[in-house]
Structure 1
Amino acid sequence: MSRSVAVIGGGAIGLSIAWRAAQAGWSVTVHDPAPASGASWVAGGMLAPLSEGWPGEDAVLQVGAASLARWPDFGAELETLSGETLFTSHGSLTVALDAADAADLRTVAEWIAGQGYELELLSRAQIRAAQPSLAPNIRLALLAATESAVDNRALIAALRSACTRSGVEFVAEAVTDPAAVAADQVVVSAGTASARLWPGLPVRPVKGEILRLHRRPGVAPAPTMTIRGSVHGRPVYLVPRGDGLVVGATQHESGEDTQVTVAGVRDLIADAQTLMPSIGEYELHECAAGLRPMSPDNLPIIGRVSDRVVLATGHGRNGVLLTPLTADAVVAELDGAPLAEAKSASPERFTFNDE
């Protein structure tokens, strides 16, 4: 007996759900007037739940680590199906420029170790040996060897290819009412737009600006792993790509605004150059901004909210990281057997309207 599901939203989350649901035997349609044009298109692609951990955020760490563990098989399957190369680096390095940042790194390392994961502190000399393009005044770094990064745009292309191969149909129209969609089940995975589709859903947009830089001939090569740090209290990251780097990302509570600002570009370039002095010789290829769908507690919202509707949104800065776990969790919900690893992301932790 045929079972149908409509997935509202064609970003990395929606496409991965559609692909996995089709593999599980569902008849799937994806509803999005412009797939892959939202936050997924301008993501950094970091898979870094350990190095971004902080004491007290146990649930955020556990959900992120559970998804990171799925990425090797998930990514390999996608690469085989699509021919795309997804992984751009392996390992991430969080660096400290001053004593306060160094103290924070030690705090994170100790807490992560207590949670059963391993990070390694590197001295100034070890940093220079491992990543010679970084600034010589970096005093300490935290190495997460099991983390990695993926090319977000290659991921989108791979997921679209996998969906097409699995028989997923695409409907290039916006949905304004999930109840009006003709399907047995509906998955709302429309990023920040999800809040307009389900009354009271606590998801808000947070703008993030990124830069894409291309390495020019004769310029020092990019780091071989993701580099994260804080400059003047502003977080900055450098994520390797085949042709250069992605630099990100600003954070602005500015509603639906997706315009790139001069100040945002200025700060990103200055902060990135503080970590990697030679970056000023790279080509500034693209400036872009996207809207992260943020929840109040930095956990995604994944789970059933009615007999017919399942939510998959609120992933904030971790949409790419949480893609495989979210897909597995939603398919489990559709089959009536919720995934234990996604329990802390349940919508039940919030009170909002149902159908």
Structure 2
Amino acid sequence: MPESVQSQLPVLVLGAGLMGRLLALSLAQAGHPVRLVDAGQPDGSGAAAWVAAAMLAPLAESAITEPSVVAMGQYALTRWPQLIKGLTRPVYFQRNGTLIVWHRQDAPEAQRFSGLLAQTGRALPELPKPRTLDGRGLAELEPTLAQRFHQGLYLPEEGQLDNRQLLAALVDSLAARGISIEWNTALTLEQAQDIQSDQGGWVLDCRGLGARADWQAPQALRGVRGEVVRLHAPDVTLQRPTRLLHPRYPIYIAPKENHVFVIGATEIESDDMSPASVRSTLELLSAAYAVHPGFGEGRILELCAHCRPTLPDNLPAVHEVAPRVLQVNGLYRHGFMISPAMLDAVLEWMQQGSTELAEQLQLRFTTLAATPA
């Protein structure tokens, strides 16, 4: 069996994005000496998690992903409050469900989406069931939408959190334990393993696309570009993440605190990190205005673009590439939704030499042998 985390073996974590921060803090809380390095800047804008909407919507996402990701997302809904509770700063978190709406001319798209939800429900019968809404039901949930939409779907128990509050709270909580992130520090996996050879312990590679040159699994990493708009819209009072179904311009609107909204949905097969395009911005803003005219008087806070680290099947993976060397990657667009499950699966392997949780959630987790060397 491997030495447990309680034995306080040192851990070198590459990448201070969402996964890197979560793992570093969990290991530090267990008394582990942790070193966390990142090639980017202290503002965190180099991480895909900085741009994300941070929606926790496993059933809604089931329209585009596999049951394993849905199961990990359902796991996260109860795990996130536990993780947030131990942080030094508050983090906005809610579970008001997800609202799905569509215009009358897009009813076929709604039928297709409903069929996909039904398939997920048969594969994962423990999931909450969607609720069909008529005009009255829609008005009870989101009164301001009732005049523009006459039907919808409500997906109960789904949630969201504030990604930037969480990233800042993780850094603050690490600092409270005497661990600072070494920014502007680029280490290759080979260099990290050289450090491991001298100091022992573990190496956890959580660099996202930064790990592309060192990714040792057969499946290559690629970037999938996403673009989002952050708005301040005082006239909009949406209480829960809302998705507009459309055959060409499907969007999500994630309300944060103080009438700030994150609007997005673009999926572009590109690792281009340039600013958001005019076309995508126009499509996102036009679709948002179609959901609620109050967005027309809102103020654009940011136009953001980033690339999510993605494997060919769009599913995440953990690979042990050498004794006590793990690569954690491929979170795609589901980072906040699946990271608690990946966190706990990695910790279970480090502590117990077990992949039981990974197997239960069908997370791809490959190891060199039954237990680490």
Instruction: Return the TM-score normalized by structure 1.
Output: 0.89
The residue number in structure 2 matching 1:194 is: 211
Partner SS, residue 323 of structure 2: coil
Q: How does 1:111-150 map to 2 (within 5 A)?
A: 111-114=119-122, 115=124, 116-118=126-128, 119-134=130-145, 136-150=147-161
Check 1:168–1:117 CA distance in 2 against 1; reply closer, same or farther (3 A cut): same
Q: Which residue of 1 aligns with 2:110?
A: 102
Equivalent residues of 2:243, 2:250 under 8 A apart: yes
Paired AA for residue 346 in structure 1: R
Q: Which residue of 1 aligns with 2:371?
A: none
Paired with 1:282 and 1:121, the residues of 2 have a C-alpha distance of: 30
SS in 1 for 2:33: strand
What amino acid is the match of 2:147? P
Distance 1:135 1:269 in 2: 20
Distance in 2, matches of 1:273 and 1:328, equals: 40
Please state how far the C-alpha of 1:259 moved relative to its aligned partner: 2.0
One-letter amino acid of the counterpart of residue 48, structure 2: A
Comparing 52-61 with 327-336, which one deviates more in the overlay? 52-61
SS at 2:156's partner residue?
Answer: strand
- Note if contact 1:6-1:187 (Cα within 8 Å) is conserved in structure 2: yes
Higher share in strand: 1
Q: Is the 8 A contact 1:303 1:345 kept in 2?
A: no
- 1:241 and 2:253 matched: no
TM-aligned CA deviation for residue 83 of structure 1: 2.5
Which position in structure 1 is the counterpart of 2:4?
none
Q: Match for 1:312: what amino acid?
A: V
Moved more, 250-259 or 306-315: 250-259
Matches within 5 A, 1:1-355: 2-34=8-40, 36-37=44-45, 38-54=47-63, 57-78=66-87, 82-87=88-93, 90-97=96-103, 98-114=106-122, 115=124, 116-118=126-128, 119-134=130-145, 136-172=147-183, 173-177=185-189, 178-182=192-196, 183-200=200-217, 201-216=219-234, 219=235, 221-243=236-258, 244-343=260-359, 344-348=362-366
Shift of 1:342: 2.2
Alignment partners' CA distance in 2, 1:128 and 1:47: 23
From the superposition, tell whether residues 306 and 256 of structure 1 become closer, same or farther in structure 2 (CA, over 3 Å).
farther
- CA shift, 1:89, in A, is 5.8
**Which residue identity lines up with residue 357 of structure 2 in the other structure?**
E
2:215/2:221 contact within 8 Å kept: no
Residue 3 of structure 1: SS of its match in structure 2?
coil
Distance 1:226 1:304, change over 3 A: same
Shift of residue 327 of structure 1? Answer: 1.7
Query: Residue 316 of structure 1 aligns to a residue in which SS?
Result: coil
Unaligned runs of 5+ in 1: 350-355
Return the alpha-carbon distance in structure 1 between the equivalents of residues 116 and 357 of structure 2. 23
Aligned counterparts of 1:181 and 1:253: Cα–Cα separation in 2: 35
Distance 1:311 1:153, change over 3 A: same
Query: Which residue type is aligned with residue 73 of structure 2?
Result: G
Aligned residue type for 1:61: V
Give the distance between the partners of 2:157 and 2:10, measured in 1 at CA: 37
Q: Percent identity?
A: 29
Task: Give the AA of the match of 1:113.
Answer: G
Decide whether the 8 Å contact of 2:225 with 2:307 is kept in 1.
Answer: yes
Please identify, of 38-47 and 180-189, the stretch whose mean Cα deviation from structure 2 is larger: 180-189
Structure 2 contact 63–113 (Cα < 8 Å) conserved = no
Counterpart contact for 2:315–2:330, Cα < 8 Å: yes
Distance in 2, matches of 1:189 and 1:56, equals: 22
How many Å separate the matches in 2 of 1:90 and 1:113?
20
Distance in 2 separating the partners of 1:198 and 1:105:
35
- CA deviation after TM superposition for structure 1 residue 139, in Å: 4.1
How far residue 261 of structure 1 moved from its aligned partner, in angstroms, is 1.0
Q: Distance in 2 between matches of 1:149 and 1:258?
A: 27
Q: Check conservation: 2:233, 2:294, Cα contact below 8 A.
A: no
Higher mean Cα deviation, 295-304 or 242-251?
295-304
TM-score w.r.t. the length of structure 2 is 0.85
Q: Which moved more, 1:264-273 or 1:126-135?
A: 126-135
The 3-state SS of whatever aligns with 2:283 is helix
- Cross-structure match for 1:353: none
Query: How far is 1:88 from its partner?
Result: 5.3
Structure 2 distance, partners of 1:43, 1:199, is: 27
Q: Determine the C-alpha separation between the residues in 1 that align with 2:296 and 2:249.
A: 19
Q: Which runs of 5+ in 2 are unaligned?
A: 1-6, 368-373
Change (3 A) 1:135 1:188: farther
Cα deviation, residue 268, structure 1: 0.6
Distance apart, 1:278 and its partner CA: 2.0
The corresponding residue for 2:370 is: none
Rounded Cα–Cα distance in structure 2 between residues aligned with 1:144 and 1:47:
11
